[in-house]
Amino acid sequence: DYPEINNVINEACSKLVLARAELVKLQTLFNDPRATKIEV
């Protein structure tokens, strides 16, 4: 087990989820269909 690596991965995943939420917000604000094409 490498807990520090798991922590890094978990942190990265959290940031991806937050970034996805920001993209959805931007898409809603600007009605930009490109945002829906970005998958996490």
Cβ atoms 26, 34 nearer than 8 A: no
pLDDT for 11 equals 96
Vertex 37, ends 18 and 34: CA angle to 5°? 95
pLDDT tens sequence across 2-39: 889 999 999 999 999 999 999 888 888 887 666 556 55
Q: What is the pTM of this model?
A: 0.56
